[in-house]
């Protein structure tokens, strides 16, 4: 992925986690493993602690919405 923008970042104290929504720009569909590595580097967290809930793209566009915990 070339660049990412954070749309939403909120703390969930009940589950002791951070919930994020990111828009990423890429020529190909990002897979979960690459997305986990990218988020891990961005937030300085181990890859094992990141769970990708959804990767959503629209036909003909090179932007993707990634929802993760």
Q: 8-62: per-residue pLDDT in tens?
A: 999 999 999 999 999 989 888 888 999 999 999 988 999 999 999 999 998 888 9
- pLDDT score recorded for residue 4: 86
Closest to 35 measured CA to CA, from 19, 53, 18? 53
Given a cut of 90, is residue 7 above it in pLDDT? yes
Q: Is the pLDDT of residue 66 over 80?
A: yes
Distance of CA 6 to the CA centre of its chain: 9
Specify the higher pLDDT residue, 65 or 2.
Answer: 65
Question: Does 2 score more than 80 pLDDT?
Answer: no
């Amino acid at each position: 992925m070339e660049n990412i923008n954070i749309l939403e970042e909120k703390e969930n104290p009940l589950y002791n986690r951070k919930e994020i929504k990111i828009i990423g720009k890429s020529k190909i569909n990002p897979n979960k493993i690459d997305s986990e590595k990218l988020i891990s580097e961005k937030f300085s967290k181990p890859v094992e602690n990141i769970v990708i809930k959804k990767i959503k793209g629209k036909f003909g566009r090179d932007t993707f919405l990634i929802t993760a915990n």
